[in-house]
Structure formats: C-alpha cells, structure tokens
Structure 1
Amino acid sequence: MSDLYILPRVSSANNPLRLGVLISGSGSGLEALLQHQESNDCSHETVVVISDQSAVKGLDRAAKHGVVGICVPLKPRSDFQVGPDGARTRRLAHEQAVAEVLDEYRVEMVVCSGYMRILTADFLTPRLGRVVNIHPSPWGDDGALYPGAHGVRDTLAARATTAGASVHFVSAGVDDGPLIASETTAIQLGEDEDSLGERVRVEIEHHLYPAVIDAIAEGRVVADTGRFRIN
C-alpha cells in the first residue's frame, strides 16, 4: 500500500516545501506550526491557510503571522439537486475550489489541522503522500483506535488507560491512512473530554505534528511494511 504514496521533494531552508494548511476552527495546531517555523531554520513554510468556515480564529492567527488566509465555504445546498448525487456534486465542487487555491499558491503538501471535512478520493488520489493529518487517538493495526470527530470523547468512553495523537498520510477513509508517528499519554484520574483534549493538544500534538512535517520535508520519512517511519 505504501508504494501508492508519493512523498514530496526533499527540501531545505533555502528552498522550503510549500505548505497549505486546511482548518475549520480556532487553529491552535496552526499556531504551533507557525511558531515552530518562525523559531527554527525549517525546510518548509506555510504559504496559505484555507478554512471552510468564515470568521474563525484560525484565520486571525494566520493573519497575525503574515500568512494569507482564505475562506472557501461550501456552496448552499439549494444550488444542487436533492439527494446523494447532489450532495456528492456539492462536495466535489468545494474540493475543486480548494484545489484551485492550492494550485494558485503552488502548494506542495497539504496539512490538515483541525479540518472537519472528509476528503474524497477525487481530491486525494493525485495527492497521496502529500496530504497529512493529525488525529487525537492512539493508532491500531487498521487505523486510529478511535476515529472520527470525537477521538478524545471516544477514548474516555472506551475506558482506555491511555490517550494519544497520531500523524498519518490521509486516505479516502476516516483516520485510517498509513501511520507516520504516534505518541501516547496515561489518562489521569478525573480527566474529562475538555481537560484531556487540551493536554493531548499541548503535550503531544503541538510538538509532534511540526516534528513530523520537518521529517517529511527533510526526506527522513520512509516506507516500512505498509506504514511509514522516521529515520
């Protein structure tokens, strides 16, 4: 499976990999990435931030760091026919609009950071290996142990003893693309969804995601029996 994924070029600080970040909300992960890029001699740079929601804090964060932020909303349902065909056409039209922005800014890798839309195979197939995501769940043999929009909530509901976050290449499934790196933390007594989610973000996601993006840009991510690993 890993041979279907074509990773981006090996980059350098003098010729950095051009990133486009997809968000849907506050952009705390985006903030961590932008701070990392500003504080280090990175082999990647964020050239555009795209949100499917207007007036979100993530767009303000992009502007604060001097990065172009663009809202690409879904068109109204009333513009499309009723039923599954209309819903699919609406999704594809939105992804095409996103792709046009990515092309305009010559984006070489897409970074999903709190992006709440499931990307279709039409969008992903020509970009396999160049779209990454971080999901707040430990990883299993077949993908995230707790996939979907409520990874932390589902971790607690399962009475798990560990929580975590995992970075993976995006496939057309839900949080099941090939794993690149994952970290876990023991769940503390009395933690709820909010407190555990915040701790996973601050203690794991905000350092793990930039570190993995560093490794991809520097050519240190290699295929390893259906998954990927960092050399």
Structure 2
Amino acid sequence: MLTVAVLISGTGSNLRALLEAARHPDFPARVVVVGADRDADGLAHAEEFGIPTFTVPWHEHDNRDAWGAELGRQLEVWSPDLIVLSGLMRLLPASLVAQYAPHIINTHPAYLPEFPGAHGVRDALAAGVSETGASVIVVDDGVDSGPILAQERVPVLPGDTEHSLHERIKPVERRLLIEVVQHIATGELALTS
C-alpha cells in the first residue's frame, strides 16, 4: 500500500477527491497525513476523513530553507512513499526536494510546459489561446518544470473568465491526480527525476 502525504494551502478540492478515492478498499494508496503552510480550509477534509494534520506556517520562519527544514521534520514522522502538492502555493526549498525526489508530485492548471507558475489560468486567458489544460508532474528544483506524468487539454470557451475556466480545469486535474497516484501505487508508472 502506497502511503501518501498531501500538502495544501487552500480549500483542498484535489485533496478531497483523493481522500474519497482512497477510502475505497481496492484503491492501492492511503493518505496518512495532510500538511499546510497556513490555517487552510482544506484541513477540514482531512479531519472529516480521520486523517492527521499538521501546519508549518510560512510566516513563522525566517526564510524558505528554515520553513522547508521544519516541513521536512514533520514529513519524516510519517515516512510517506509519495508527497502530493495539491494547491500548495509555496516553492519547496531545493534541500527538501532533494530529500524526497522524485517522490514529490504536483498538479498544475495548465498544459505544461505552457503557462507555468502561480497564475497558469490567468496567463492562458491573457495569451488568447483556444485551449489550455491540466498536468501532473514530478517536482524538481524549477517552477513547474519537472517530468510530466499526465496531462489533458481543456478548451477555452468564448467569454471564459479566470474563475469559469479554472472551474472546468479542476475536475480534470482531480481525475488525473487520482489516476497518477493509482498508477504509481500499482507500479504502472515509475517516478524518475
């Protein structure tokens, strides 16, 4: 059974989808802990499913490395096989990535390498493209630059706003995340950095 730690910053909609999938007896992975960089609303999903949580507030640390060191200490308690960044809006320090690489994956609301960074949906709209997408990648030292594990196109419709487009991307992102975690757990997908 693949053990998974999930790190979030916000509402945790991808986390909830993963928790719902993992509660089925035939799903080959279990979420063992959920962490956040703030008092995130999504921690309530973990509590509802009886999953332990921890918070490592960004503002309580002098710099990214100090924050990452504490995050690493919290993760070590659980020894997860896989770490899922699910809406974590902080870049992990290189030392933490190196500690767990290539066993950290991230979801992104764009068809990478198109529109990396924190504003993928907004950037796609600003570029006037006819389609964008969702991706699941291995985390490396760059910004959304790791190996792509799964991705799917999502059309940009006339009159789309950042909100409406993101709402259409989210279900695709959730489905891809669940599929990737399942395929990693069954050995159908090998992680490489």
- TM-score interval for Structure 1 and Structure 2 normalised by the shorter chain: over 0.9
Q: Distance in 2 between matches of 1:126 and 1:98?
A: 12
Runs of 5+ unmatched residues, structure 1: 1-15, 81-89
> Counterpart of 2:106?
133
Q: Distance in 2 between matches of 1:152 and 1:29?
A: 16
CA RMSD of aligned residues (A): 1.6
Letter matched to residue 190 of structure 1: G
Letter matched to residue 107 of structure 1: P
Q: Does structure 1 retain, via aligned residues, the 8 Å contact 2:104–2:139?
A: yes
> How many pairs align?
193
Q: Distance in 1 between matches of 2:143 and 2:58?
A: 20
Per-residue CA shift, 1:95-138, capped at 9, x if unaligned? 11111111111212110000011112111113211000011111
Q: Distance in 1 between matches of 2:25 and 2:183?
A: 14
The alpha carbon displacement at 1:91 in A equals 1.1
1:73 pairs with 2:57: yes
The alpha carbon displacement at 1:163 in A equals 1.6
> Counterpart of 1:83?
none
> Counterpart of 1:113?
86
Per-residue CA shift, 1:41-94, capped at 9, x if unaligned? 11110000000011x2111111011111111112546xx4xxxxxxxxx21111
> Counterpart of 1:104?
77
1:43 pairs with 2:16: no
> Counterpart of 2:174?
206
With normalisation by structure 1, the TM-score equals: 0.80
> Bigger radius of gyration, 1 or 2?
1
Q: What percent of counterpart residues are identical? A: 37
Pick the aligned partner of 1:91 from 64, 67, 70.
64
> Counterpart of 2:96?
123
Letter matched to residue 217 of structure 1: A
> Counterpart of 1:17?
2
Letter matched to residue 74 of structure 1: W
SS in 1 for 2:23: helix
1:221 pairs with 2:184: no
Q: Distance in 2 between matches of 1:122 and 1:222?
A: 22
Per-residue CA shift, 1:145-172, capped at 9, x if unaligned? 1011110000110001102110110001
Pick the aligned partner of 1:185 from 154, 166, 172.
154
The alpha carbon displacement at 1:209 in A equals 0.5
Q: Distance in 2 between matches of 1:62 and 1:127?
A: 22
Q: Which consecutive aligned stretches of 4+ in structure 1 deviate over 2 angstroms post-superposition? A: 74-77
Per-residue CA shift, 1:181-207, capped at 9, x if unaligned? 1001211121110011011002x0111
1:30 pairs with 2:3: no
SS in 1 for 2:128: coil
> Counterpart of 2:123?
154
Q: Distance in 2 between matches of 1:196 and 1:69?
A: 31
Per-residue CA shift, 1:6-26, capped at 9, x if unaligned? xxxxxxxxxx11111000010
